[in-house]
Chain A
C-alpha cells in the first residue's frame, strides 16, 4: 500500500484546497474538489482511504452522504471536520459510522495523527484478511 489517499469534501474550497495542498506536501495523496456537484461519483471513482467530511454544506447533506458512503463503501473511513458542534449532530455522525469528529479550525498535526491511525488500522485489517 502506497501513500494514504485523502478526499476532502467541504463547501469552503479555500479551506479544502489549501488543506489538500498542505497534506500533499506531507506526502499524502489529497484530493479536494472545488465543486461538490459530482461528489458521489468522485468518491466512487477515487475510492479514498480516508474521507474528511464537513456536515453543513449548501445543497449537500453531509450526514446523509456519510451514511450513504458507509453503506456503499464501508472500507472508506470518514473523519468529520466541521465548525458545527451541536451535540445532536455529533452523536448522529458518530452513530452513522464516522471514525472521529474534529472541530474547525483543526490542528494539522492532530489531523495527520488521526489519518495515520485510520490508515494503519486499514492496513492491519488488509494484512489480516490476506492471511
Chain B
C-alpha cells in the first residue's frame, strides 16, 4: 500500500513538475534570447552614447568658439577703430575737447556703445576728454593698466563700475608721437551691454548660459543662471587651464553641468558656456525622434515573449504526452506480467489438484461399482448416496480447476471465434456462489441472436469478472445485478452490466479508470482493476464507459467489435 501511495503522490507531484519545467523552459529560452539582445542593446546604447557625447561636445565647443570669434571680432573692430582715429587725428585734437567731442560723435555713429573717449599723455594725465563725465586732468600714472598699455600698445580692461555706477570696460591704444620719442594713450570706455548683446546673439536653450568671467571668476557680462555682473561665479581661480585656440569642454559634477570655455586673446576674460543638458538627454531626444523604432522593438520583444511562452508550453505538452505514453506502456507491461504470473500460478495449482482429484474420482467410482455387485449389502442406498456426494464434490472441483486452467491459458492474446453469451455465463458461474450467499438477484438478458465475435476469451473473462465483481462490491446483500447483451450496430456488440448499489459520485466517476485510483478501503483494492479492464477493452478494439447515479446504481457498458480486434492485431 505504501508503494501505491508513493506512486500516487509522485503522480500528483508530476503535475507540479511539468509546471516547473514550463517555467524553467520559459526562463531559459527567454534568457538565451535576451542575452544577445541585451548585448546588442548595450553595444547600441554605448555606441549611441559615444556618438551623442562627441556630438554634444562638438556642438558646445563650436558654439563656444563661435561666440569667442564674434567677441574677438567685436573687440578687434573697436581697437582698429581707435587706432585709426588716433592716427588720423590732427595734433591739436589732443588738447581741444571740442574737437575730441566731434570725434566721439563720429565714433558713436559707428559704435553706439562707446561712452567716452580720452587722451592721456605719457605721464599718465588725461589731457583731453570727451564724454558725459568730467574726467579731464585726471591722473592714471599709478594705474596698472597705464603701465601695461605703455608696454603692450593695446589694452582691454576688466569690467568695472568706476565713477559711473554702470558696468563698463575700457580699451586703450598707444600712439607714438615725435618720431617715437613720446606717446599718447587713446582710451575709450564701452558699456558692458555691448558685450551682452554680442554674446547673447546666439540663441540658447533654457538651461544653457553664456558669459565672461575674469581670471578670478568674477562675472563680467550678464548671466542667466550664474549670478549678476561683478559677482563671483562657480569658476574659481585656476580652475580652467589656459586655452586660446580651441574651446575646452569640462564637466562640473557637483553642479550637474557641462561647460565649454576659452580664454579670449589679449583680454582678461574667459568665455564660459554652460549647459545642464547631459549626454543621455541627447539619446532620449534621439529616441523620441525615432519613436516608431522603439514601438517596433517593444512589439517584437512582446511577440518574442508570447512566442516563447507558447513554445515552452508546447515542449512541455510534448514531454508530458510522451511520458504518458511511456507510463501507459509500462503500466500495460506490468499488468501483463502480473496477469501472466497469476495465470501460471493458477495453472500450476489446478494441475496439481487435478491428479489427486482423479484418484478420488476413480476410487469413489470403484466403490460404487463394487457395491452395485453386492445386492444384499444392507446399506446400499446410504452407501450410494455417500459416494454420489463424493463424486459431486469432485465434479465441482473439476469445474473450478478447469475454469482456472481456462483463465490461465488465456493470458497471451489469442483471438478466437467465441460466443459472448456463453463467456458471460462462464464468468457469472464463477461468482454464483457469492451471489447465492449474499442473496443477490441476477437478471440475465442475453440476446440469443448475437453473432459470434472474434476476440480473446481469457481477456474478456478478466474484463467481465472485474466489472461484475465491482458491482458485487457496490450492492447490498439482496441487491440486483443485471447483465444484458445486445447488438449496438452491425459491427458492435454491447454488454451492459448494471447494479443497484450506492452509485459513484461524479468526481470519482471522472477518475474511475485511472490507475491506482481506488475508493475501497486500505488493503482492499489495488485500484488497478478497472484500469486493467479499460486497457484490455481498448486493446481488444472496444470501448468502455460508465454511467452512475448516486444512490440508484451504476451501469458499465462495454462495446466490442465483432471483428475489429483481429484487424487491429494484424496492423501491429
The contact string, 1 if C-beta is below 8 Å from chain B, for chain A 82-112, is 0111110000000000000001111010000
Distance between B457 CB and nearest chain A CB, rounded to angstroms: 12
Contacts of B360 in A (CB 8 A): 105
Chain A's interface size range is 10 to 19
Q: Does A18 sit at the interface, judged by CB under 8 A?
A: yes
Q: Are B358 and A21 in contact (CB under 8 A)?
A: no
**B408 contact set on A, CB distance < 8 A:** 85
Q: Whole-angstrom distance between the alpha carbons of A21 and B368 in the complex?
A: 12
The reply on A19 being an interface residue by CB < 8 A is yes
CB distance from A84 to the nearest CB of B (A): 6
Partner of A22, one of B351, B355, B362: B362
B409 in contact with A105 (CB, 8 Å): no
Q: How far is the CB of B413 from chain A (nearest CB, A)?
A: 13
Contacting pair A83 B354 (CB below 8 A):
yes
Evaluate whether A83 and B358 lie within 8 angstroms (CB atoms) in the complex, with A14-B363, A21-B366 already known: yes
Is the pair A15, B347 in contact by a Cβ cutoff of 8 Å?
no
- Please indicate the chain A residues that have their CB under 8 angstroms from the CB of B398 in the complex: 105
Between B358, B402, B409, the greatest number of chain A beta carbons within 10 A of the residue's beta carbon is seen for: B358
Report yes or no: B363 in contact with A104, Cβ–Cβ below 8 A: no
**Known interface pairs A14-B363, A15-B359, A83-B354; A25-B369 also in contact (CB < 8 Å):** yes
12-28 of chain A: CB within 8 A of chain B: 12, 14-15, 18-19, 21-22, 25
A-contact bits for B348-383, CB 8 A (1 contact / 0 none): 001111110111111101100110010000000000
| Chain B contacts for A105, CB-based, 8 A | 354, 357-358, 360-362, 394, 398
CB neighbours (8 Å) of A14 from chain B are 359, 362-363
Tell me the complex Cα distance, A87–B370, Å.
37
Q: Which of A18, A83, A105 has the most CB of B within 10 A?
A: A105
**In contact, B366 and A86 (Cβ under 8 angstroms):** no
Query: Mask for B162-205, Cβ within 8 A of A = 1, else 0?
Result: 00000000000000000000000000000000000000000000
Query: B347 near A85 (CB under 8 angstroms)?
Result: yes
Query: Which residues of chain B have C-beta atoms less than 8 A from A104's C-beta?
Result: 354-355, 357-358, 361
Q: How large is the interface on B (under 10, 10 to 19, 20 to 34, 35 or more residues)?
A: 20 to 34
State the CA gap A102–B458 with chains docked (Å): 21
With A105-B357, A105-B394 already in contact, the answer to whether A86 and B347 are too (CB < 8 A) is yes
A18 to B357, alpha carbons, bound, how many Å? 13
- Given the known interface contacts A12-B355, A106-B358, the answer about A87 and B409 at a Cβ–Cβ threshold of 8 Å is yes
Per-residue A-contact encoding for B330-360, CB less than 8 Å = 1, 0 else: 0000000000000000010011111101111
CB nearest to A85 among chain B residues: B405
Min distance, Cβ B375 to any Cβ of chain A, angstroms: 15
Contacts of B370 in A (CB 8 A): 25
CA of A87 to CA of B406, assembled, Å: 10
User: Chain A residues with Cβ under 8 A from B353's Cβ?
Assistant: 83
By beta carbon, the residue of chain A nearest B397 is A105
Q: How many Å lie between the Cα of A90 and that of B408 in the bound state?
A: 15
Q: Roughly how many angstroms separate A9 CA and B347 CA in the complex, as a whole number?
A: 23
Q: Given A85-B347, A104-B355 in contact, is the A18-B405 Cβ separation under 8 Å?
A: no
| Minimum CB–CB distance for B376 against chain A, Å | 18
CB distance from A26 to the nearest CB of B (A): 8
B354 & A18 in contact (Cβ 8 Å cutoff): no
**Chain B 409-462 residues near chain A, CB threshold 8 A:** 409
Q: Choose from A12, A19, A84 the contact partner of B351 (Cβ within 8 Å).
A: A84
Cβ A108 vs Cβ B355 within 8 A: no
Q: Give B299-332 as 1s and 0s: 1 = Cβ < 8 Å from A's Cβ atoms.
A: 0000000000000000000000000000000000
- In the assembly, what is the distance between CA of A26 and CA of B480, in Å? 49
In the bound complex, residues from chain B placing their C-beta under 8 Å from that of A18 are 359, 362-363, 365-366
B357/A22 in contact, CB under 8 A? no
Once the chains are docked, how many angstroms separate the CA of A14 from the CA of B355?
Answer: 10
A87 to B398, CA, bound (A): 18
Most A C-beta atoms less than 10 A away, residue of B351, B352, B370, B409: B351
Shortest Cβ distance from residue B409 to the other chain A in the assembled complex, whole angstroms: 6
Check B366–A22 contact: CB distance below 8 A.
yes
Nearest-neighbour CB distance to chain A for B387, whole angstroms, equals 13
Smallest distance from the beta carbon of A130 to chain B beta carbons, Å? 35
Q: Closest residue of chain A to B394, judged by CB? A: A105
Bound Cα distance A21, B409 (Å): 33
For B357, the closest partner residue in chain A by CB is A105
Say yes or no: B366 contacts A83, CB within 8 Å.
Answer: no
Interchain CB contact (< 8 A) of A103 among B373, B394, B402: B402
CB-defined contacts of A85 to chain B, threshold 8 Å: 347, 350-351, 402, 405, 408-409
A5→B217 CA distance, assembly (Å): 146
CB distance from B392 to the nearest CB of A (A): 12
C-alpha spacing A106/B394, complex, angstroms: 10
Bound Cα distance A115, B60 (Å)? 126
For chain A residues 54-95, which have a beta carbon within 8 Å of chain B? 83-87
Q: A12 CA to B362 CA in the complex, in Å?
A: 12
Cα–Cα, bound, A14→B402 (Å): 22
Contact of B359 among A12, A22, A84, A103 (CB under 8 A): A12
Q: Which residues of B contact A108 (CB under 8 A)?
A: 362, 365
Residues on the B chain within 8 Å of A25, using CB: 366, 369-370, 373
Check if A12 sits within 8 Å of B358, measured CB to CB: yes
Q: Do A19 and B362 form a contact, CB below 8 Å, given A103-B402, A105-B394?
A: yes
Residues of B within 8 A of A87 (CB): 409
| Cα distance A103–B394 in the bound complex, in angstroms | 13
B355: contacting residue among A19, A21, A83, A86, CB under 8 A: A83
A22 to B365, CA, bound (A): 8
User: What are 7 pairs between A and B in contact, CB < 8 Å?
Assistant: A14-B359, A19-B362, A22-B369, A83-B351, A85-B405, A104-B358, A105-B362
Which A residues fall within an 8 A CB radius of B?
Answer: 12, 14-15, 18-19, 21-22, 25, 83-87, 103-106, 108
Give B contacts to A, CB under 8 Å.
Answer: 347, 350-355, 357-363, 365-366, 369-370, 373, 394, 398, 402, 405, 408-409
- Beyond known contacts A25-B373, A85-B402, A105-B354: 11 more, CB 8 A cutoff: A18-B363, A25-B366, A83-B354, A83-B355, A85-B351, A103-B354, A103-B402, A104-B354, A105-B357, A106-B361, A108-B362
Of all A-B residue pairs in the complex, the 7 with the closest CB atoms, nearest first, are A83-B354, A105-B361, A104-B358, A18-B362, A105-B358, A85-B405, A104-B354
